[in-house]
Amino acid sequence: MTSEDRVQLRQLEGHRVSVALADGSRIDDCELVSVNRGRRGHMWVHASGGDAFLPLSQVSDVWEVHGGRGRV
């Protein structure tokens, strides 16, 4: 994930998103709480009453739910 991709992700913080992971699984309609700005980078999402911390290296796609900002 490029630094430009991370900037676009940060713009989605607080929004409802769906996330596709490199292993083919998805997390649909979750809240993007935060994108870690560290070198390795993680994404914090809240879905189905629980939190998940996803390494950005494992995230293949993110898109906003019920919106039109496009894909990251």
pLDDT 10s digits, 18-71: 999 999 999 999 999 999 877 778 999 999 899 999 999 999 999 999 754 445
CATH number at residue 14: 2.30.30.100
Residue 31 lies in a domain: yes
pLDDT at position 7 over 90? no
Residue 70 lies in a domain: no
For 44, list phi and psi in degrees, rounded to 5.
Answer: -105, 120
Residue 71 lies in a domain: no
Residue 72 lies in a domain: no
> Edge-to-edge strand order for the sheet containing 16-21?
50-55, 42-47, 26-35, 16-21, 59-64
Q: Do the Cβ atoms of 55 and 42 come closer than 8 Å?
A: yes
Model-wide pTM > 0.75: yes
